[in-house]
Amino acid sequence: MVQFQQTQFDTAFAALSDATRRGVLEQLTRSDASITDLATRFQMTLTGMKKHVGVLERAGLVTTHKVGRVRTCRLGSSRLEQEAAWIERYRQLWDQRFDRLDAVVDELKRRENSNGH
């Protein structure tokens, strides 16, 4: 299970690591689009866009449907819930660490002020 989850995370984070792929996801939140439309919008070749869409598709972030010669893209079923939960655990950890650091800094300032410095 852990190995599957790690592979799933790697695939999702790899898909999200590219600005063009994040832009494609942003575009698809507004409306479905053909690969041709996406390639035009992002000023790239059809082959390049197909590769980006393939990465998003493997991560479950995008699905495609072909009718005739047109392949239409839409948001996939992945809601990134497990990935968001993983990030949230680390966000909470960092918040706790920064809160402790703030407490140390506040204590040092209090001591400095009480010593007349």
Please say whether the beta carbons of 33 and 27 come within 8 A. yes
The pTM for the full model equals: 0.77
pLDDT over threshold 90, residue 116? no
| CA–CA gap between residue 46 and residue 31 (Å, rounded) | 19
pLDDT over threshold 80, residue 73? yes
Question: What is the pLDDT at residue 94?
Answer: 94
CATH 1.10.10.10 fits 2-75, yes or no: yes
Question: What is the pLDDT at residue 117?
Answer: 59
pLDDT over threshold 60, residue 2? no
Mean pLDDT of the chain: 92
Phi, psi (degrees; rounded to nearest 5) at 63: -120, 155
